[in-house]
Each structure stands twice: as C-alpha cells, then as structure tokens.
Amino acid sequence: MFAPMGDSLLSYGMKQIGNISLHHPAELLLAITNPWVGLGIVLLFGFFASYMTALSWADLTYVLPASSLGYVFLALIARFFLHEQVSVTRWLGIALVSSGVGFVTSGPELTKRRRQKHSEQVVEVSR
C-alpha cells in the first residue's frame, strides 16, 4: 500500500504545483516543500524499505508479483480520490496484470522452503 499511496500523493501535489522541468533543479527542490509531495516521498521510502525487507527473505519472482497488485490499488485511488478517468483499456490491462500475478503465484514455492529453514535456525539459536 505504500507505493500506490505515495504515487497518488505525489500526483496530487504535483497537480497543485504545475509543470516543472529537469532543466531547473530549483523547481524540483521547491516541489519537495509541498506537503503532499513530501508525504508521498516518505511513503515511497516506506515502500522501498518494505521491498528491501521482502527481498531479503523471498525470491524476486515472489515479491515482484505481490507488489504489482499495487497497480489495482493505484487505479482505484486515481479513479475515486483523484477523480481521474480510467479507461476500459486500462482496466483491462490491470485485469491482465492481476491474472498474471495469479499464474506466478501458482509456481513452485522456493521462498516458502527457504523461510522454513530460516525459522528452524532461529529456533535452534534460541534453545
């Protein structure tokens, strides 16, 4: 939830600020002072920390599809809170991503086996 919320807050804040350019770094720094942009950045840092934590114990092929469900949340936030128009084509694309996540999760459970080994080590250390 950190990523879609952070992205949404960045979008909301940047719509208040207006157009900026990479050719004017001062504009970028000024954009950070917008509270919505700042909060969006904080939430994206939270996503990054969560993502790193998940990757420390799980396979990328397990973590990445789980994080891709954020596309569904992002589309719902954009539609109902930012009042953006989400076309039928975009909804179909989101459905396609979601179904792809379903295919990936039905694969082998390498992550589960690794995690069990890790928890067994923790039990042995605590004895």
Name which residue leads in pLDDT, 91 or 67: 91
Kindly state the average pLDDT of the residues 28-37. Answer: 92
* CA pair distance 55, 109, nearest whole angstrom: 15
* CA pair distance 63, 97, nearest whole angstrom: 14
Which residue's entry shows tokens 């700042």?
A: 38
The pLDDT of residue 121 is above 90: no
Kindly state the average pLDDT of the residues 19-28. Answer: 88
Confidence of residue 24 (pLDDT cuts 50, 70, 90): confident
| Res 52: pLDDT | 92
Kindly state the average pLDDT of the residues 100-108. Answer: 70
Residue 22's alpha-carbon distances to 19, 25, 29, 41, 122, in angstroms, are 10, 6, 11, 18, 48
* CA pair distance 61, 54, nearest whole angstrom: 11
Kindly state the average pLDDT of the residues 78-90. Answer: 90
| Res 118: pLDDT | 53
| Res 126: pLDDT | 46
Kindly state the average pLDDT of the residues 22-49. Answer: 92
* CA pair distance 121, 38, nearest whole angstrom: 40
